[in-house]
Amino acid sequence: MSPLELFAATLGVIAVWLTVKQNVWCWPIGLAMVLIYSWIFFEVKLYSDMLLQGVFAVLQLYGWWQWTRGGDQHRGREVSRLSAPGLALSLAIGTAGSLALGYLMSTYTDAAVPWLDAALTAFSLVAQVWMAQKRLECWPLWLALDVIYVGLFVHKGLYPTAVLYGLFCLLALHGWLTWRRGPELVRA
């Protein structure tokens, strides 16, 4: 446990809480968090997660733009649901990404848990894109991923991060319930 990890974990809780509240400040705070975590994951040889943080940095900027200038009127997005084909396509992309990244990490690196790390990475990207687009389905996917991440981080001895992801589980459940109770959802 390092002070840097504790700081990143604190930023993570703040960022997700602000996301649940649909506060646009979730994005710059999240950007700071993912940049710090990229270094932390490099140090413990979770390379897929390190790469994921780099992509998350780009997605933080995308989400910030979507929430402030996206949507039909360019005034930000409203919470919506994915269509069945959109859901299927996204999950297929996550599966393909898991297999491709898992193969690369298991073949060409000394990654600690290449296949699990790759699957979590690929599906986290799917969840993050859904979150940037304010898709209600992001929350159940985040909940499932965060539960698995808790086990992975305990296994790697990243206890403050495991606690963070435990809190993320609770926040994901809260986010799902909160976004479901909001104004009428749009079917996309």
pLDDT top residue among 151 and 5: 151
Q: Which long-range contacts (CB under 8 A, 24 or more apart) does 62-69 make?
A: 62/129, 62/132, 63/26, 63/27, 63/30, 63/128, 63/131, 63/132, 64/24, 64/27, 64/28, 64/31, 66/132, 66/133, 66/134, 67/22, 67/24, 67/27, 67/132, 67/134, 68/24
Q: Could you state, in order of their start, the residue ranges of all structural domains in the chain?
A: 3-187
Min mean pLDDT across 38-42, 57-61, 71-75, 116-120 is at: 71-75
- Is 70 a residue whose pLDDT tops 90? no
Residue 130 pLDDT = 96
Counting DSSP H helices and E strands in the chain, the numbers are: 7, 2
Report which secondary-structure segment, H or E, holds 98. helix 84-108
Q: What is the mean pLDDT of residues 76-84?
A: 90
- Is 186 a residue whose pLDDT tops 80? no
Please check whether residue 159 is in contact with residue 153, taking contact to mean a CB–CB distance below 8 angstroms. yes
pLDDT top residue among 90 and 5: 90
Kind of pairing, strands 80-81 and 186-187? parallel
Min mean pLDDT across 3-12, 68-77, 89-98, 113-122 is at: 68-77
For residues 109 and 16, give the distance between their C-alpha atoms in angstroms, rounded to a whole number.
31
pTM: 0.85
Residue 108 pLDDT = 94
pLDDT top residue among 6 and 141: 141
Helix 3-20 and helix 26-43, axial crossing angle in degrees, nearest 10: 150
Q: What is the pLDDT confidence band of residue 1, given thresholds at 50, 70 and 90?
A: low
Residue 6: CB atoms within 10 A of its CB come to 14
Q: What is the mean pLDDT of residues 103-118?
A: 92
State the average pLDDT for the chain.
90
For residues 102 and 118, give the distance between their C-alpha atoms in angstroms, rounded to a whole number.
5
Residue 183 per-residue DSSP state: S
**The one-letter amino acid at 52:** L
For residues 39 and 17, give the distance between their C-alpha atoms in angstroms, rounded to a whole number.
23
Question: Which percentage of the chain shows pLDDT scores above 70?
Answer: 95
